Amino acid sequence: MTTTTATTTTSTAVDMSVDLAGRRLPSPMMTASGCAANGRELGRFFDVAELGAFVTKSVMADPRSGRGTPRMAETPSGMLNSIGLQGPGITSFVENDLAWLKKSGARTLVSIAGNTSGEFADVAATLRASDAFDAVVGVEVNISCPNVANRGLVFACDPLASAKVIALVREQLPRDVPIFAKLTPDVTDIVSVAQSCVKAGADGLTMINTLLGMVIDTDLLRPQVAGVTGGLSGPAVRPVAVRAVWQTRAAMLEGRLPFVPIIGVGGVRTGRDALELVAAGASAVQVGTATFNDPSAPVRVGRELAGLLQDKGFERLTDVVGIAHERVAR
């Protein structure tokens, strides 16, 4: 397979590389879980190895059909989805999808999920045992999907439940494979959930997952998606993502939380949107819903971000991470 050098980094003088909990990535740009399938589809639009990392759809232990349809509703500057974590199950995932990603030279951040903390651990164990495990640059633990069992009551709403999942996954993976806890903004205090995840062994944080929302079809006067409620995403939620990243970074600056990398996600459509998350404290950025509008958005946003940093005279992306905290008007 071809692995062309990343145009993201070569076309500009700005050093876009990032250190994500010990793994050096040439670019901060990633796909967002569930918005990029498992590689092949977007591989038609760009070289998946061009990304800092390819983030796969959250995979569970067994194959899952997901929910009935309609599964989505368009909303102002966003959408609501209730896919219900459809997927092939971890065994098929490692044999087919992860093997393909490895062959394509993609650095892969594998997103895992489970109904119980034990299921998360089992999925991690199968992943570790797979032949393609060396393509894995990290594991994203999706403790925040609103479309599974206790909808609305996801693991990431409860610091103790979150810590348990993270600790069990940590035990299954080698120390040099970082794990990222993916958090929901649907909580009173996201920092306390972040604290318990880091304490339990998370090497980094991904925020945010979708917000629980609902759309009613006003012709039929019934919920528009078959799953009744769903996850809200897209540019409409970006201010929430910026806020969540900001609060968590602020807690690190105040010493309430150890410094761990934050992967920002939520509503990124342009380089400028990505820069917002970076300035708030994100070291890497995922592009989700915008990919549905523009299949090459994850790499395009990276090019735009590099261009913006260059225009502003920055030499390294890392110099901009969290910079807005130093510039608050007092």
**226 binding another protein? (CB under 8 A):** yes
Instruction: Count CB atoms within 10 A of the CB of residue 303.
Output: 21
The answer, yes or no, to whether the previous bond of 208 is cis (omega within 30 of 0) is: yes
Q: Is 145 a catalytic residue?
A: yes
Contacts to ligand FMN by CB under 6 A: 32-35, 57-58, 81, 83, 85, 111, 142, 145, 182, 209-210, 231, 233-234, 237, 265-268, 287-290
Nearer to another protein, 63 or 201 (CB): 63
Nearer of residues 138 and 234 to ligand FMN, judged by Cβ = 234
Of 292 and 314, which CB lies nearer to another protein in the complex structure? Answer: 292
Bridge partners of 112, per DSSP, are: 59, 141
Q: How far apart are CA 271 and CA 105, in angstroms?
A: 25
Residue from 35, 145, 157, 197 carrying the catalytic annotation: 145
Q: How far apart are CA 199 and CA 257, in angstroms?
A: 9
Q: Please, which residue, 123 or 262, has the CB nearer to another protein?
A: 123
> Rounded distance, CA 209 to CA 256, Å?
23
The site partner of 145 among another protein, ligand FMN, none (C-beta below 5 to 8 Å per kind) is ligand FMN
> Within its chain, how far is the Cα of 284 from the centroid?
9
Of 247, 248, 282, 252, the C-alpha closest to 268 is 282
Here's the x/- map for another protein, 129-168, by CB under 8 A: it reads as: -------------------xx-------------------
CA-CA distance, 87 to 194, in Å (whole number)?
A: 27
CA–CA dist 229, 223 (Å, integer): 8
Question: Binding of another protein at residue 201 (CB under 8 A)?
Answer: no
- Closest by alpha carbon to 198, among 243, 246, 128, 259? 259
- Neighbouring C-beta atoms of residue 2, cutoff 10 Å: 7
The answer for 66, left when phi > 0, alpha when psi is -120 to 50, beta otherwise, is: left
- Helices (H), ranges, 173-289: 190-199, 238-253, 271-280
Of 23, 28, 47, 262, the one binding another protein by CB under 8 A:
47
Q: Please give the distance of CA 279 from its chain centroid, rounded to a whole number.
A: 18
Binding span for another protein by CB under 8 A among 83-91, 97-105, 197-205, 255-263? 83-91
Shortest gap between Cβ of 289 and another protein (angstroms)? 6
For another protein, the closer of residues 64 and 128 by Cβ is: 64
Choose between 81 and 126: whose C-beta lies nearer to ligand FMN: 81
C-alpha–C-alpha distance, residues 27 and 6, integer Å: 8
Q: Determine which residue in the list 21, 37, 125, 167 makes contact with another protein, applying CB under 8 A.
A: 37
* Site membership for another protein, residue 292 (CB under 8 A): yes
Among 64, 128, 199, 325, binds another protein (CB under 8 A): 64
| Residue 31 backbone dihedrals phi, psi, to 5 degrees | -80, 165
Residues annotated as binding site for FMN?
33, 57-58, 142, 182, 208, 234, 266-267, 288-289
Interacting stretch for another protein, rule CB under 8 A, among 28-36, 126-134, 255-263, 314-322? 28-36
Q: Which does 23 bind (CB under 5 to 8 A by kind): ligand FMN, another protein, none?
A: none
Catalytic residues: 145
- Contacting positions for another protein (CB under 8 A): 34-37, 41-47, 57, 62-72, 74, 76-79, 81, 83-87, 89, 115, 148-149, 220, 226, 234-235, 269-270, 289-296, 300
